[in-house]
Structure 1
Amino acid sequence: MGLLEMSSDGIVQNGLLQGNRLLIVPLLLICIWIASSYLRLRCIPGPFFASLTNLPRLLWVRNGDAHDTHIALHRKYGHLVRFGPNMISVSDPAEIQNIYSFNGKFPKSDFYRALSFYVKGKAIPGLFATQDENIHRLLKRPIAGMYSMTSLVSYEPMVDSTIKTFFKQLDTRFVNTGRACNLHDWLQMFAFDVIGEITFSKRLGFLEQGRDIDGIMENSWRYFSTASLIAQMPWLDYVWVKNPILQRLRTAKINPIVAFARARRVEREKEVASGLVDIEDNTDTKSRDFLTRFMEVESKDPATPAWAVNAWATSNITAGSDTTAILLRTVFYNLVKHPLSLAALRQELDSQGADLFGENDNDIVPWKRAITLPYLDACIKEAGRMHPPFGLPYERVVPAGGAVISGRHIPAGTVVGISAWVVHRDYEVFGKDSDVWRPERWIEAGEEERKRMEASLLTFGAGHRSCIGKHISYLEIYKLVPTLVGAYDIDFADGIGRDWKVDNKWFTKQSGLNVRLKKRTVKSG
């Protein structure tokens, strides 16, 4: 028995030894990988743990203050800060043209894969999220002309129609009742309905119903809140969201925005088949909207993929609603918070008299008049500077051979990116008061200084991958802001207002944009 027991102990000990060896090997490999990863970019300053893992930057996003953290880190460490084992954040405005050049030599990183829409386990390519430059060219080339400012002016009557509906609801629900208005949500509902009108000749119905239709707004919020987290550690995307096993186990749900776009296309195809809509007729409203123009491209270009129309229409809604709403909220929040700015804008509007509305007879400021107003232009530029819609770095990958960025050679394969929030606070470009709202900086600046500030703006990105729909946003903003400011007296509902905050914690939202509206007794024209 003793020999047997000793033999058994020996077997157990040998088994444990072999098991320990099996553990030691992968642990050793992990340590080697961490050490080599750390050493590769050891010359770039930043938080120590960020040089070992991407977890810190995921937590910055999770805490809802990543943009503030990014600004603070750059002010501590300089133009180059290591945000992860293989990620460098850049704050040097001079590098915008280098990293986001029109030749696209710095491709998009895996950050964008997490932002792609998936339906039943399959990705829906989009202009913003696709990493494949061939797909991007395929999607952009046939429709780029539709987004020029010259072309978009034809959509102005559709924007006017939605503004009328918006004001009717404000009058009925808030002005006539004296109730406080959550302008935060109503501006997003306006943005959704405008993009629905110009894309499908059909609003999504937010304004008329005064609510989030089919949970589209909430779904959009949750989607991007989750995606922004996963994008900090892209490998999580395969484990959490796009895991093929989990995809099969989950109940298949189509994103409501994708569903709305698909339903409108089915309707339009029936209208074309029945002769109610003629793709060749440029006088009919529905023949001028984006959907019909997309379908026209599809019918004339055999190279157009079957999924392209849905991708274009979906991108219009997702990219054209949230970005516009964020900028509108920023403008109105800061105008109400800073009464001197609001008074200055009203003085500019009132000084125009009847000329403000040009040939319009509907008290809606036309685009061609709005863009001539210096203080309005300054307020909108300042809003884009203070609160750009995209709160994280626009990530790119250093190409083969490496690149010199801010005087340092960065090896190929390194992820680099510039955050609009960071570069828009640059003291050298925007002044020591760049943390505060001051539209006057755009008026006081000399020609060269103003050009430098404008070249440093990343409100809608830069280079050949900048937002194709930025002119849509500007068309809405330059028309709505002066029209609403001229028509209503606006003040915080509590009389003093509070900080405007959107809190990512547990995907909840807070708004400091609760206001009371009154018809102006003295108005332009």
Structure 2
Amino acid sequence: MGSYVLTILVSTLLGSLSYAVYLRVFHPLAKVPGPLLASLTRLWLVYQSRTLKRHLIELQLHRKYGRVVRVSPNEIIISDPEYVKMIYGANSPFLKARWYETVGPKDADTMNLLGEWDMKKYALQRRLVGPIFTTPALKTRENLLEAPIAKFLSKMKRTKDEPQDIVKWMNIVALDLLTEITFSESPNYIDRATDDANAIDVDAFWQQIHWMGLCPDLWVAFVSVSEWCQRFGLDLFFKADIAKLSIVQYYIGQLTSRASEATRAAESATTPSNYADLASDIARFAAARPDFKPQWAATITLHIIGAGFDTLGMTLSAAIVHLARTPTCQAALHHELDAARNTENLDAMPKYTQTLALPYLQASIAETTRLTPVIGIALPRTVPAGGASIDGYDVPAGMTVGMNPWVLHRDKRIFGEDADTFRPDRYLRASEGQRHVMEAVSLAFGGASRSCPGRNLAYMCLSKTLAAVFLEFEVEVLGEEEVRRCQGEGEGYREECFFVVKWHGVWVRFRERGQ
């Protein structure tokens, strides 16, 4: 018995050593530099993800090892603008990797724009929803954004310079903005000064997804076992479910109410309410297109909030904080806004068209999404049949490759030696060719082949909100000691990455200008 066990142990050890030698010496990616443990097991990348610092870790990896780094036996990350178009460009054959299995079902009847692998189906769905999210179409609903912005400005004026948790407040503003433009009403989070724990719950979803996506087979087993246990009333495994967010339940309630109203109107031959918002636009558009499945209309409506509020909230927070921390930048924006206002080119509640004519404001938004993009991990893609040549390495089909916006957007060859600094002027002083290159490498809203359909809506919300805020206020970022007094001893600033990058413990003071 003892010799049998010894034989098994020795065989296992020799097998493991042989496999390790293969991974380090004979594997197709063996020559790609990177941490030793990363080349031997994917658990190294899982561990790095669990630290919630992958955006910073991958930045340091590239600065240590170069433009191509091996981060698991079959995965490399790349920081070279030359390959953005090849991997993420329109019609790229590099499809989304298995990491995206965790973000939802992808059968024939579902709409899952983030995780869909079938590019023909994805292209159809993007063509169907595209007209709804064009800038001209969104401008017809722009007026719905103005009430939430006005409420926030009024709320901050009443606080009389009291410290404010900027991330909390921008999440609240984003929730009300997106809900108002979708349904012509909102849960009034701004008035209630709460987001009903939506931010905490969506963070829990991403925290689970971002590392379990690295182990897709484990994820499949996890979901199966979890569902089996729930049949018997056993909730043994925590499974984050974005459908349980209170804001998602609010959306479902709104959609259900409108569907019931339409049914009653049809049965009684009366005219239903004539809504004028994104939800009604989506419903009318879907009804006019036989290839637009009925359930897709509800899904894309839910996507507006489920995929948008925390990313919009974080970008608003980052823009305000970057400008406030850089007095010369805040002063430059104030000067631009005042000049436009004094020449009657900017309303007290700015119109989107007016904000597009404000170059420093638009440069500040571009610089925010460059320096602190919401996505903090390499966006994984699978190498297509035939393989790929990347920076002199022959990468076989089936391997995973990706580029991290946090790394790519700080490339000094493109953005200059001060790429780690917030400087909106870089976009204003660059030549047309330089600006084109800077814009071409941006992954702030994903690559061209899979870009976020809500991008135009996000820019409208960002432009109107930031213009309105800085017209009215001078913003001051509180120091660390004052932050601790606001939120308790032991608490301070922290930055976490779980696919999306979130800030915590950033407090500001809104001082009304002219007082």
Shorter-chain TM-score: which interval? 0.7 to 0.9
Q: What is the CA distance between 1:495 and its match in structure 2?
A: 9.2
Structure 2 CA distance, aligned partners of 1:275 and 1:356? 46
Structure 1 CA distance, aligned partners of 2:109 and 2:286? 20
Report Cα offsets for 1:88-138 as digits up to 9, x if no partner: 1011011111001211311100111123379xxx99642112223244234
Give unpaired runs (5+ residues) of structure 1: 1-12
Report Cα offsets for 1:483-520 as digits up to 9, x if no partner: 10111122234599889533469x99763431222322
Q: What is the CA distance between 1:142 and its match in structure 2?
A: 1.3
| Aligned with 1:514 (options 487, 507, 511) | 507
Structure 2 CA distance, aligned partners of 1:303 and 1:66? 40
Q: TM-score, normalised to structure 1's length?
A: 0.85
Report Cα offsets for 1:212-240 as digits up to 9, x if no partner: 22x22211011112211212333332244
Deviates more, 1:90-99 or 1:56-65: 56-65
CA contact (8 A) 2:350 2:468 kept: yes
Secondary structure at 1:187 match in 2: helix
Q: What does residue 311 of structure 1 align with? A: 299
| Aligned with 2:130 (options 144, 150, 160) | 144
Secondary structure at 2:354 match in 1: helix
Q: What does residue 62 of structure 2 align with? A: 74
Structure 1 CA distance, aligned partners of 2:264 and 2:344? 43
Structure 2 CA distance, aligned partners of 1:394 and 1:313? 25
| Aligned with 2:150 (options 160, 164, 167) | 164
Structure 2 CA distance, aligned partners of 1:133 and 1:504? 28
How many pairs does the alignment contain? 492
Q: What is the CA distance between 1:275 and its match in structure 2?
A: 4.5
Give unpaired runs (5+ residues) of structure 2: 484-491
CA contact (8 A) 1:117 1:123 kept: no
Pairwise CA RMSD: 3.1
The answer as to 2:242 corresponding to 1:260 is: no
CA contact (8 A) 1:70 1:422 kept: yes
Q: What is the CA distance between 1:413 and its match in structure 2?
A: 0.3
Secondary structure at 2:292 match in 1: coil
Structure 1 CA distance, aligned partners of 2:449 and 2:433? 24
Structure 2 CA distance, aligned partners of 1:267 and 1:164? 28
Deviates more, 1:476-485 or 1:26-35: 26-35
Structure 2 CA distance, aligned partners of 1:375 and 1:487? 17
Q: What is the CA distance between 1:430 and its match in structure 2?
A: 0.6
CA contact (8 A) 2:28 2:394 kept: no
Q: What does residue 331 of structure 1 align with? A: 319
CA contact (8 A) 1:50 1:84 kept: yes
Counterpart of 2:149, as a letter, is I
Relative to 1, partners in 2 of residues 1:496 and 1:93: Cα closer, same or farther, differing over 3 Å? farther
The answer as to 2:417 corresponding to 1:432 is: yes
Aligned-pair identity (%): 27
Q: What is the CA distance between 1:61 and its match in structure 2?
A: 2.2
Q: TM-score, normalised to structure 2's length?
A: 0.87
Structure 1 CA distance, aligned partners of 2:14 and 2:118? 36
Counterpart of 2:209, as a letter, is A
Q: What does residue 278 of structure 2 align with? A: 290
Relative to 1, partners in 2 of residues 1:65 and 1:345: Cα closer, same or farther, differing over 3 Å? same
Structure 2 CA distance, aligned partners of 1:296 and 1:79? 48
Q: What is the CA distance between 1:415 and its match in structure 2?
A: 0.4
Relative to 1, partners in 2 of residues 1:510 and 1:424: Cα closer, same or farther, differing over 3 Å? closer
Structure 2 CA distance, aligned partners of 1:33 and 1:132? 34
Q: What does residue 442 of structure 2 align with? A: 457
The answer as to 2:116 corresponding to 1:127 is: no
| Aligned with 2:339 (options 338, 343, 351) | 351
Relative to 1, partners in 2 of residues 1:465 and 1:503: Cα closer, same or farther, differing over 3 Å? closer
Relative to 1, partners in 2 of residues 1:245 and 1:494: Cα closer, same or farther, differing over 3 Å? same
Report Cα offsets for 1:432-451 as digits up to 9, x if no partner: 11111111211221221121
CA contact (8 A) 1:348 1:373 kept: yes
Structure 2 CA distance, aligned partners of 1:480 and 1:447? 28
Counterpart of 2:244, as a letter, is N
CA contact (8 A) 2:375 2:444 kept: yes
Q: What is the CA distance between 1:480 and its match in structure 2?
A: 0.9
Counterpart of 2:406, as a letter, is W
Q: What is the CA distance between 1:165 and its match in structure 2?
A: 1.9
| Aligned with 1:420 (options 405, 417, 421) | 405
Structure 1 CA distance, aligned partners of 2:482 and 2:219? 39
Secondary structure at 1:400 match in 2: coil
Report Cα offsets for 1:290-337 as digits up to 9, x if no partner: 222332344333443453223212211122212211211111111111
Q: What does residue 205 of structure 1 align with? A: 188
Structure 2 CA distance, aligned partners of 1:259 and 1:89? 38
Relative to 1, partners in 2 of residues 1:311 and 1:36: Cα closer, same or farther, differing over 3 Å? farther
Deviates more, 1:291-300 or 1:96-105: 291-300
Q: Which structure has the larger Rg over C-alpha atoms?
A: 1
Structure 2 CA distance, aligned partners of 1:407 and 1:456? 21
